[in-house]
Amino acid sequence: MQDMWIHGHTDRGIIGPIGGVVTAKNVDIDTNGMAGWDFDNGIQTASVNGTLNFINSTIEFSGCNQEYPFVHAIPVISCYSQSTGGYGDGLGTPPGMELNVNVSNSTSRYNTQDGMDFGHIDTGSSTMTVTDSSFYGNSGQQYKWGDNYASVVFENNLVNGNCDRMTAPLPGAPSTYNANLSDFCRAQSAMSWNYFDGATLLMANNTMVSYSPGYFVIGCNTASGCSHVVTTFQNNILLGYDNPTTYNQGAQAGGPAVYYCQDNTNNSNEISCATQMGTWNRADNIYYGMRATNFTCPTGFPGETCVNPQLMDQPTGNGAAFVESELDNFNYALSNGSPAIGAGVQIPGLTLDYSGIPYMNPPNIGAY
């Protein structure tokens, strides 16, 4: 599928399982009333040898109906969430299937549930690569994956966990677009993923901003634990904001929590979470604006600091002063004098940043 605009359907934009390799390139899937792309045909028929390549493409305003004729710059006449009769995943998957995934130079935004939900991939042994992509403004989690991925690479991405964004007006959209919306920040984290024992994850050179109750919810599907998992979490920027409107959604004053482990772990606290999942190669990350409960700096991991990353045009609003629109059009680039400049370490195979510019040596922390 190339150079396509799939929009305005009252149900799904694309629906059903696949066999073999499916590539979407330069495709815009937007304003489809139930979901953008749903691999579940309603009876959970599994994909066969499925591989999805999602390249230079966009999924947006899933769970929303498109006005016709177009009157507004953002022609979204009404949106619904799961508790108001809708669905709203940008991309959704059923349980009982495996699916290889490659996402690059793509965007998932303003969907009324999760941005891209691969969280139900629970069969077989799949692989996933997500690079140079952005995820923001989704009312659930921005990106998630399930527990049967043998290897995952998540590099050079921009993530904004502003899961309450659609509670407020969107410039260019009708004033009543969100009259039927609820379930904001329903997943209580910006991202989530699950391991099976022996899996590998490389999460490097991402820049993330969030006020979700937590940043990452991490699970293990193996009853005996995930002692053979290998995770490399390096060169990432995590910037947190305190948003009082999320307190009744699980957040607390002081900004988001960072790591939370569930399933076959002891759930003791955020720091030990990073040591419960096998080998955790965690280094050279910047944290700022995180809730201090069970998360202190220095973290004890090499090169990790808790300093202001000084992103370009970084909003200062926090706590009672927080305004949803402050995180719109967020500029993730580093300002002059940022402590992230030249503070990273080289990641094998990673040569270009989010904008296609060669990384310095030593590289910056973050996606730029």
For the residues 131-142, what does the mean pLDDT come to? 97
pLDDT at residue 267 tops 70? no
Q: Which of 1-10, 140-149, 223-232, 262-271 has the lowest mean pLDDT?
A: 262-271
pLDDT at residue 114 tops 60? yes
pLDDT at 272: 58
pLDDT at residue 266 tops 70? no
pLDDT at 12: 97
What is the average pLDDT score of the chain?
92
pLDDT at 274: 58
pLDDT at 187: 86
For the residues 291-314, what does the mean pLDDT come to? 87
Partners of 209 in beta bridges: 160, 239
CB atoms within 10 A of CB 117: 27
User: Contact, 167 vs 245, CB < 8 A?
Assistant: yes
User: Contact, 164 vs 185, CB < 8 A?
Assistant: yes
pLDDT at residue 271 tops 70? no
Q: Could you tell me which of 290, 286, 297 has the C-alpha nearest to residue 341?
A: 286
pLDDT at 319: 60
User: Contact, 35 vs 16, CB < 8 A?
Assistant: no
User: Contact, 350 vs 183, CB < 8 A?
Assistant: no
pLDDT at 265: 61
pLDDT at 108: 98
pLDDT at residue 316 tops 80? no
Tens of pLDDT, residue by residue over 72-101, are 999 999 999 999 999 999 999 999 999 999
Q: Which residues touch 317 (CB under 8 Å, ≥6 apart)?
A: 241, 323, 326
State the pLDDT confidence band at 287, using cuts at 50, 70 and 90. very high
Of residues 246 and 107, more confidence is placed in 107
| Pairing mode, strands 214-220 and 134-136 | unpaired
- Domain ranges for the chain, please list them: 1-118+161-182, 188-368
SS (H, E, C) the chain: CEEEEEECCCCEEEECCCEEEEEEEEEEEECCCCEEEECCCCCCCCCEEEEEEEECCEEECCCEEECCCCCCCCCEEEECCHHHCCCCCCEECCCCECCEEEEECCEEECCCCCCEEECCECCCCEEEEEECCEEECCCCCCEEECCCEEEEEEECCEEEECCCHHHCCCCCCCCCCCCCCCCCCCCCEEEEEEECCCCEEEEECCEEEECCCEEEEEEECCCCCCCCCEEEEECCEEEECCCHHHHHHCCCCCCCEEEEECCCCCCCCHHHHCCCCCEEEEECCEEECCCCCCCCCCCCCCCCECCCCCECCCCCCCHHHCCHHHHCCCCCCECCCCCCCCCCCCCCCCCECCCCCECCCCCCCCCC
User: Contact, 67 vs 99, CB < 8 A?
Assistant: no
Tens of pLDDT, residue by residue over 65-76, are 999 999 999 999
